[in-house]
Structures are given as C-alpha cells and as structure tokens.
Amino acid sequence: MPRVVVFDRFGDPDVMHIVDESPVEPAPDEVRIRIEAFAVNPLDQMMRSGTSPAPVALPHARLGIEGTGVVDALGRDVTGLGIGDPVILTAIPDAVVRGSYAEYTTVPASRVIARPPGLEVAEAAAVWVAYSTAYGALVEKAGVRPADHVLISAASGGVGRAAIQIANQIGAVPIAVTRHSAKKDELLAAGAKAVVATDHEDIADVVREHTDGAGADIVLDLVMGPGQQDLVKATRAEGTLVAAGSPDPRPTPFPAAALRIFRYRSFEHTLDDAAVKRMAAFLSAGVRLGALRPVVDKVFALDEIVDAHRHLEDGRHDGKIVVTV
C-alpha cells in the first residue's frame, strides 16, 4: 500500500512518521500524481514545528509544497495530460491534507506543468519553489531588464542561486551578497558577476565599484531585518527593492531612500494561470539553454525523512534537500 509521511503533534523532526494509505481517486478536474521526488523547504519545517503563519490541523497532517512525478490517473474532465506524463507540481492548495511527502497525491490539473526535458528527477523536485519565487520577484514584480545591476542578498540559498541564474538568462548583472568570505569563489562560479562578503566588506562600497558609482538598479532582499538598510544604501535613486523573504525576525526599518518597494510572497503567482505559463516557458527555455539548473545539496530516501529535516535544521546545506520516493 502507498506510503505517506504524517505528523500528529508539533515538534522536532521525530514527530514525523510513515503510514500506509490507499491512493485517492482524482476529482473531475484533478490528476493523481505518482511522486518520484520532493524537496524539503523551510515552510515544511515551520508547519511541522507549529510556527507556520497558516493553521495546521492535527492529527494526521501532511507536508510538502513541491515535487515531481508522473500522471497516474486523470479526472474525467481533464484534457491535455496523459497517463505517464512527467510533471512538476506548481502548487498544492492544501499541503496539510495532500502534501507531496507521499508516494501519491492528487492536485487540480491546472497545478502541474510539463517537466522540462533535461532535468534529472532530483533537480525537477527542487526547481519550482526557488525559481518561481526568484522569477516572480525579479520579472513579474521588479521588471528586470538586460544590463540592470541586480543586488541579491542571501545569494547562496536556493532562491538566491536561482535569482543569479535568472538575471544572467535575461542579460542583467547579478551581484551576490553573502555573510561569509568562504562563499565568494563558489558564488562567482555559480554566475555572480561580483560578490560582497559582509564579514569584511561594505555592501555599498563594493556595489558602487561595480556600477560606476550609480548603485544597484534592483535589490532582491531575501532576509529583511535591520540589514536591509545596507542594501538600500547600495541602491541607486529611484531604484527598486523587492522583499521576498524574512528569516531575520527583527524589525525592518522603512527605507528612507526614494525607492520603488514591493513585497513578494513565494506563492503569489502560483494560482495565476497566465503567470504560471510565463514561468513555465521561461524555466523550460532556461533548462534547454543550460542557463537554469537547480543545485541539489543531498538526496535522502523516504525512510530517511527525519534525517532530511535534521539536515535542513543544521543549516549547513548548500542547495536544495531532496527526498526520492
């Protein structure tokens, strides 16, 4: 019988366990997906520990907001998809009920896209959340253009690395920000045109050096908190700041500079069919051209789901954590 990861109480990774469940038949507008792999995300950890901003109903809650697999069954009204089609999940409307930490799940047919040829299964599992967030923030919100200088905080994370690749695909100039000098060579190899290591460099000084004194055109802030002020100082007048992450729980002072400011949430466009089509086309083209490639840190088996979450909480991963089913 198919296996599903569930948890009945909030707590550390040990609250998760695997149970057997019969696969659910898809509703008329749904597809059932046989999951091949899924990624482990910080939101999963928040849901499991009870710190998620959205309510999580217990017991028997599920996890998983992204993954990849093949179409296993079709609802009677579904067209354009066939049994065995490899797909990527773009949104799971109710992850606590039918998340991707499972061998099977059902989702609306509109919430899957074709898996781009050329992506390995583990890569496909790790691609959507990071790349759709970076694309949505930079392209849909900020309107990034060729030759724009794009300053990216937390650049060594999954969204940061995706943003570097997306900026390069468009012809913009990505400038990465990291807290650790040891990450500089790695980020340059990942496509950053310049790297600021805040453990010994001033962000504004380095950015001005690489922009002929003008400052960054666009800032992608994936941290927030008081450190945002350093990013603002490195931005040109009338530039654009997009805040797309907030791991720093400290208050974020409102920028005093004259900037266009946007707040971007990870799933802001995933229920917009037209935006998803644009994202999917951009992703497919980037994979085909070799411009977009997710970085997978480590792959676990489904039986190792507790270890996968412990690895996430250690904070030492470089790239996405993936679980194969």
Residue 272 has pLDDT above 90, yes or no: no
Average pLDDT over residues 139-163: 95
Strand partners, 224: none
pLDDT at position 307: 98
If you search the block for the tokens 């700041």, which residue do you land on? 241
Kindly report, residue by residue over 168-189, the tens digit of the pLDDT.
999 999 999 999 999 999 999 9
- Architecture per CATH, domain 130-263, reads as Alpha-Beta Complex (3.90)
pLDDT at position 252: 84
Query: Average per-residue pLDDT in the chain?
Result: 94
Residue 254 has pLDDT above 90, yes or no: no
Q: How far apart are CA 253 and CA 302, in angstroms?
A: 42
pLDDT at position 255: 77
Residue 319 has pLDDT above 90, yes or no: no
pLDDT at position 62: 98
Here the tokens at position 190 are 């990942």
Residue 226 has pLDDT above 80, yes or no: yes
Residue 26: DSSP 8-state = P
Residue 7 has pLDDT above 80, yes or no: yes
* Delimiting residues of CATH 3.90.180.10 domain(s) in the chain: 3-127+294-324, 130-263
- How many residues can be counted in the chain? 325
Contact 148, 166 (CB under 8 A): no
Lowest-confidence pick of 66-75, 123-132, 287-296, 314-323: 314-323
DSSP for 91-155 reads --TTHHHH-SSBSEEEEEGGGEEEPPTT--HHHHHTTHHHHHHHHIIIIIIT---TT-EEEESST
φ, ψ (nearest 5 deg) of residue 243: -95, 115
Kindly report, residue by residue over 282-313, the tens digit of the pLDDT.
999 999 999 999 999 999 999 999 999 999 99
Residue 274 has pLDDT above 80, yes or no: yes
Kindly report, residue by residue over 95-127, the tens digit of the pLDDT.
999 999 999 999 999 999 999 999 999 999 999
Query: Among the CATH numbers 3.90.76.10, 3.30.200.20, 3.90.180.10, 2.40.50.140, which is that of 3-127+294-324?
Result: 3.90.180.10
Q: Is the pTM of this model over 0.85?
A: yes
Residue 159 pLDDT level (bands cut at 50, 70, 90): very high
